[in-house]
Each structure stands twice: as C-alpha cells, then as structure tokens.
Amino acid sequence: MLKNFLPFGKQDKADTSALQLPDSIQAIHQKALLGYHLEQVLWGKALLNSTFMPPDPQQAIIWFTMAANAGYGPAHNMLGRCHHFGWGCDKNLTEAASHYAKAAELGDEWGHYNLGILTMRGIGMPQNLPKAFDLFQTAANNNHAKSMNILGRFYEEGWVVGKDVQAAHAWYQRSAETGDYRGCHNHATVLAERGQLEDALDWWDKALPDATSDILLAMQRSLSALDMPRARTLLVATQARLAAVLPATENTPDTNAQG
C-alpha cells in the first residue's frame, strides 16, 4: 500500500492546520500524505465535496491521479467521474470512458457500472447494449447493488436478453437487500403490485433517505394511490424530501454514489 511513496505535502494546498477538521478526516489526510491509495481517494473526495472545508476539485484530481498512477482502480473511477461531469477539469467523455475502463480492468465494480452507463446510453461512444449488459452483469455478480438494479431492468424490458419478469424481480430484490435505493423502490413496486403493501412500505421507507428526485417523484405517485395511514405518513415525508432535493444542482459532486 506504501509503494510509489512521494513527499506529497508540497503538492497539497489544503492548510489543514487552519481548519477544524474532525479527527477522522485528519487521519485520512495523514495517511494520504504517507501514500496510502485508499486514503488518497478519500481525501480527494473530501476536497470535492465536504462540509468541513472549501471545495478544491483541481487539488482533488491531483490526489486521484497519484493513486491512479499506482494502479489503484477506484482512483481511475474517480478521475472518470471528474472528466464525466467537469469537476476540476473540462468535461471529456472520451477521457471519462478511458478511466472507467481502466478502473474496471483493475477490478473496480464502480468502473464496470459507470462504463456500463455510458455504453448503455451511448454517451461519448456508440450505444452498445450487449457490452453494457456484460459490464453490469460482471459488477452485479460481484455484489454491486446498482448494477443489480439495472440488470433487473434489462430483464424486465427484454433488452439484449429475453424478457424475464421473474429474473427482473429477483435482481430488484437483491439490489434492495444490498442497499440501493432504486432497487428498494423497484422491489417495493413489485411487492405493491402483488398486494404485499406493508412489505412494500417497508422498502419505500428504506429508499427514502438516499433517493434522488426521480425516485422520490415515482414514490410520490405510488404512495398517493394507497389509502392507508402509514402510506399517507410516508407520502408526507417523501414530499418533504422532494422539496429539499429539487433545488440541488445537477453538477454537485456526489462522491458517495459514484454513479
């Protein structure tokens, strides 16, 4: 983990001594300075988006590059994200795809997922659904929750593979159980259609804290159709979160989602 050590301190513009950072964040910074690749990526993410210090995306890229040059897959994934969304650099989808591909080659499941998204949608490259399916399938088989959910969509819609609703529902359930909010919503929808309303509400409740506006809107529609006290309570909470997230800008770095 300490290979390719360099005296990084001179390259780090963040004066942490002047910041009141939690001990956990300071510890990440110190290990990043020592050349630990995971902490270099975590420190770069903090520089992208942290409540404890001003954002510095250009400096974040430097830290991601250090770890990427040492062959660390998650660092290539984060460089892909920077080029994909223009965080600290100009948007460059070709460069983003290159870094995602390198991350995937190094075994990073977020790299498989993010390259799969570009390939599925034809962003920065020709659309190639069979290749996207293979990328999502690889990540899903390695327990990547978001890839499980998208794999379920492939089976539900019959993209590339034959339509298989049962397989779709199984992947949605696995995605939900592994923690993806989209998987939680899709699994809840299936349960509601089966009449298992209390179970469905349990999964919508689990989706609520992390759901983005598109899922919150879908939840709002589903919950509005249910004449149940618990559903009405969850609907109010969903509408409150929707009001809170809608003003957020699309380009705000979401370093936790990575996808």
pLDDT in tens, 185-238: 999 999 999 999 999 999 999 999 999 999 999 999 999 999 999 999 999 999
Q: Is 132 in the same domain as 180?
A: no
Burial class from Cβ neighbours inside 10 Å (0-12, 13-18, 19+) for residue 151 reads buried
Q: Are 135 and 105 in contact (CB under 8 A)?
A: no
Q: Are residues 137 and 47 in the same domain?
A: yes
Same domain, 40 and 137: yes
Same domain, 174 and 233: yes
Asked whether residue 6 is assigned to any structural domain, the reply reads no
Residues 205 and 240 in one domain: yes
Do 133 and 205 belong together in one domain?
Answer: no
| Same domain for 108 and 183 | no
171 shares its domain with 123 = no
Query: How much is the average pLDDT of 160-169?
Result: 97
Give the pair of three-digit tokens for residue 32: 């990043």
pLDDT confidence of residue 227: 96
Report the distance separating Cα 234 and Cα 177, nearest Å: 20
**Do both 138 and 193 map to the same domain?**
no
pLDDT beyond 80 at 86:
yes
What is the average per-residue pLDDT within 107-114? 98
pLDDT at 4 over 50: no
DSSP 15: -
Q: Which of 70, 147, 60 is nearest to 106 (CA)?
A: 70
Residue 46: name the closest of 21, 69, 66 by CA: 21
Task: State the residue range of the domain holding 218.
Answer: 165-246
At 257 the pLDDT is 57
Q: How far apart are CA 164 and CA 226, in angstroms?
A: 28
Average pLDDT over residues 144-155: 98
In a domain, 215, yes or no: yes
Q: How far apart are the C-alpha atoms of 97 and 157, rounded to whole Å?
A: 25
| Residue 130 located in a structural domain | yes
Rounded to two decimals, what is the model's pTM? 0.87
* Residue pLDDT, tens place only, 32-69: 999 999 999 999 999 999 888 899 999 999 999 999 99
Please check whether residue 196 lies inside any domain of the structure.
yes
Q: Are residues 199 and 237 in the same domain?
A: yes
**Which CATH number fits the domain that encloses residue 169?**
1.25.40
Task: Count the domains in the chain.
Answer: 2
Q: What percent of the chain has pLDDT over 70?
A: 88
Q: Quick one: pLDDT at residue 119?
A: 97
Regarding whether 175 and 219 lie in a shared domain, the answer is: yes
Find the CATH number of the domain harbouring 52: 1.25.40.10
Q: 11-27: buried (b, 16+ CB within 10 Å) or exposed (e) per residue?
A: ebebebeeeebeeebee
